[in-house]
Amino acid sequence: MGATKTDHFTERQNQLATLAKAIAHPARIAILDYLIKVDSCICGDIVNELPLAQATISQHLKELKNAGLIKGDIEGNAICYCIDENTWKRFQDILNALFDDYTPKTQSCC
């Protein structure tokens, strides 16, 4: 096997899993950190910021894009990346809902 059985779970569970997987790698978090830090669309200087080969970073960018967390526009011979506000917000909402649902119990068996 090795393939996740997505059809057995709810839409929300699958969505959250997909978004979480997108940030489940330090390099992709570093990319998002940088996108947030520079506070503007960046045109491909991520390669100089991270200790990874260009091909590897391009792949990570692709995964972030597939998950919808970032988007990119062509700008000359460079590409301009920035955070996708909508997906970002949805991600935040789903997580907030999850965290809100949990209330620490006073009487815990473990």
Look at the alpha carbons of 59, 42, 38, 82 in this order and tell me if their dihedral is positive or negative: negative
Indicate the angle between helix axes 11-22 and 85-101, nearest 10 degrees: 110
Distance CA 22, CA 65 (A): 9
Site string for DNA, 33-52 (x = CB under 7 A): ----------xxx-x----x
Q: Which residues bind a second copy (CB under 8 A)?
A: 4-6, 8-10, 13-14, 16-17, 20-21, 23-30, 32-33, 36-37, 39-41, 50-52, 71-73, 75, 80-83, 85, 88, 92, 95, 98-99, 101-105, 108-110
The residues in 61-80 that bind DNA, with binding defined as CB under 7 A, are 61-63, 72, 74, 76-79
